[in-house]
Amino acid sequence: MTTHRNLPCILLAEDEMLLAMMLEDRLTASGYQVLKAARLAKCLELAESAPIDLAILDINLAGEVSFPAALALRRRGIPFVFSSGYGDDDLPEAWRNERILQKPYDSRQLNEALSALRAA
């Protein structure tokens, strides 16, 4: 589902504004078009219908979990990675096999996760 200018489109769900801006810069520099969502409602709207290729979902979006958006992405066959500042021990069983970017993560870890998603 590549967007205009043949750039892959990534959904970035992140509620920490500075982190979202930094990630958007990194992703844009890496050749992605970025759609951002800071709240679950917007993330879910984009996950259900936007022309996206990949997604990075912060598990906790302003106190709401992003699992409904992950379900929408899963239904559409769009690969995603969770990001979290918490450990994966508290993840529900249904999500334990998903890749998690443990915050804070660096550019190398981000690139490895994106490469794995694109290969999926």
pTM for this structure?
0.91
For residues 113 and 83, is the Cβ–Cβ distance under 8 A? no
| C-alpha triplet 54, 60, 62: angle, nearest 5° | 115
pLDDT tens digits for 39-67?
Answer: 999 999 999 999 999 999 999 999 999 99
User: How far apart are the C-alpha atoms of 36 and 9, rounded to whole Å?
Assistant: 11
9-36 mean pLDDT:
96
What is the residue extent of each domain of the chain? 4-119
CATH code given to domain 4-119 = 3.40.50.2300
pLDDT at 114 over 90: yes
